[in-house]
Every structure is written in C-alpha cells, then in structure tokens.
Amino acid sequence: MPPKIVVICGPTASGKTRLAVELALARGGEVVSADSMQIYRTMDIGTAKPTPEEMRGVAHHMLDVADPEEDFSVARYVEQARTCVDDILARGKLPIVAGGTGLYIDSLVSGRDFAPFDPDSELRSQLEAEFDQKGGEEMLAQLSKIDPETAGRLHPNDAKRIIRALEVFHSTGKTISQHNLETQSIPPRYEATTLALAFERREDMWARIDARVDEMMAAGLVDEVQGLLLRGVPDKCTAMQAIGYKEMVSALRGDGDVRAAAEEIKLRSRQYAKRQLTWFGRNPAANWYRWSAQPDFMDCLHYSTEKLEENGI
C-alpha cells in the first residue's frame, strides 16, 4: 500500500496555511508547501508566504527553494517535494501537503513521471530560435503532424507548451500524449486524504481576497516589487508573472498608480480562485469543508481529524 499523507487544498485566501499548522500541531505533522510562487526567495508579501509567527514552530518545506530568476518546473517541484515527504514519513511524522497549485499536488500524489527536461539544452535553444523565426502557426502545424492530440489543445501563441511537446518527441521518440498516457497507468505514489476548503458564499471569499490584498499593500508589496526590479530580476521571468507582481510591475513601469494595480490584483485573484475551485472540484475523493462568513478553525480541525481517522491516519 502507498504511504498515507494529508493534502489541504482550496482557493487563495481560504485558510489552507492556518489549517495545516493546526493539524500539524494536533497530529505531529510537518507541512510541505504546494504553492508555485512561495518557492521563490525574497518574494514573501505578494505570495502570502507564512511568517514564523504563523508557522508556530511547525516545520515547513518547499519554501524559498529557488531564486526569482530561475525557471522552476513542476518536475523539479515533484522531485524536491517527494524527498521532503519521504523524509517526513521516515521520521515517523505526518506529511501535510498544503497549497493551491493543483498541478503540483496532483503530480506529487500520483507519482507522475516527467520526460527529460533541460532548459539549457541545445535542442531547446534550436526550437526556441525556430519558433521566433517561423512563428506559432508554423510550429503548431509541425506538432500537429507528430502529435495531433496535444496540438489540438494548444494555441499558436503558447510557445512554452509547443516547444516542450516538440522537445519531448525529439528527445524520446514518444509524443507527450503517449508519455502522459504511460505515466497515468502508474499506481499513485501516496494515498492522500484530501481536505478541500471553500466558502458557502462566493461573496465571503471575495471579501477575504480583497482583505488579503489590502494587507499586502500595507505590509509593503510595492517596496518588495520595487526591490526585485532594482535587483535586476527580469520583468518577463515566471516569478514576476505571478498575480500581485505582474500588475505592480506594470504600474511601476508605467503611470505609477499602485492603488489601481491593487484593485487589478483583487480582480485577478478572484478569477484565479474560480479556476482553483474548478480544478479541485474534479477530485471526487476530496472532503470539502465550507466556511461561513467567519472561518471556524476549531470546528474544521475536528472535521479534519474525523476524516483522517476514517482513513487510518
């Protein structure tokens, strides 16, 4: 049987970090972050990275493991997070994977394998240069001849995924569709009890998101983004495309209206929360706990404990 772990997921600002800490304190656990932006060092405010006070002495893993300039892939996340989870298990503690990046969570739990990836390879450089020269329509047409299934899901402007699909085929002789099909047949790496958080009323979730953005502004989000720019972190790198950073960079590079940028961050965060709910809603095994206007963490902890005990944790 696969080792048992806990997953806490849900949309942004839904209380995942707080519940993870409460559960870790109650059950002897350690937290493994599944947030695609909290991996970056010096990006603390805009990612809502937990503070030492919020961690309350609970060990947290997969925070601050990359510099903002780095291209951090899901494959790299799975490799590093798996090491953390297995170490926690080996020490007799409970791994609690908590975050809102569904692809990270699903890939870690499933044990999904990834085709070789080297962002600095000669093949990748050649494909990137060819894409710049020929454009997305031509490169997508190439992919259609090799892997029509994948090509049918992509837009000509999606350079990253088109190049990746071509790279996988030329590196392995297999299409990325075939590779994904093969990895889906692998038994899951972990048996996860999934606790999913949401709100009974969307309006309460929007209010929580708006309040969080206001807190970020008060905590110094503008200074954090300005500091990254002064350090020379490129505007176009993955980290700076995150919600909260992209909008603030645009304001700082443009008219300087950071208040308007904050309102844009609220809007983008709400839209992202909807996508997260859709993603996590596809998991039929998820145990949903829905907050009223004011979250009751003690009641949620009681509910979570019951679900863990039902699954032998």
What are the helix (H) ranges across 187-296?
202-219, 221-230, 246-253, 258-281
pTM over 0.85: no
Structure tokens at 214: 């206001």
103, burial (CB in 10 Å: exposed 0-12, middle 13-18, buried 19+): middle
pLDDT of residue 117: 54
In this predicted structure, the answer to whether residue 147 has a pLDDT above a threshold of 70 is yes
C-beta neighbour count of 115 within 10 angstroms:
17
- For the chain, list the domains and their CATH numbers: 4-112+186-310 (3.40.50.300), 122-184 (1.10.20.140)
Which whole number is the average pLDDT over 204-212?
96
Q: What is the mean pLDDT of the chain?
A: 92
Residue given tokens 């600095």 in the structure block: 120
pLDDT of residue 114: 60
Whole-angstrom distance, CA of residue 309 vs CA of residue 305: 6
Could you give the 3-state DSSP secondary structure of residue 70?
Answer: coil
Distances (CA, A) of 212 to 38, 102, 215, 269: 16, 21, 5, 10
Q: Confidence class of residue 121 from pLDDT cuts 50, 70 and 90? A: low
C-beta neighbour count of 65 within 10 angstroms:
18
List pLDDT tens digits, range 21-59.
Answer: 999 999 999 999 999 999 999 999 999 999 999 999 999
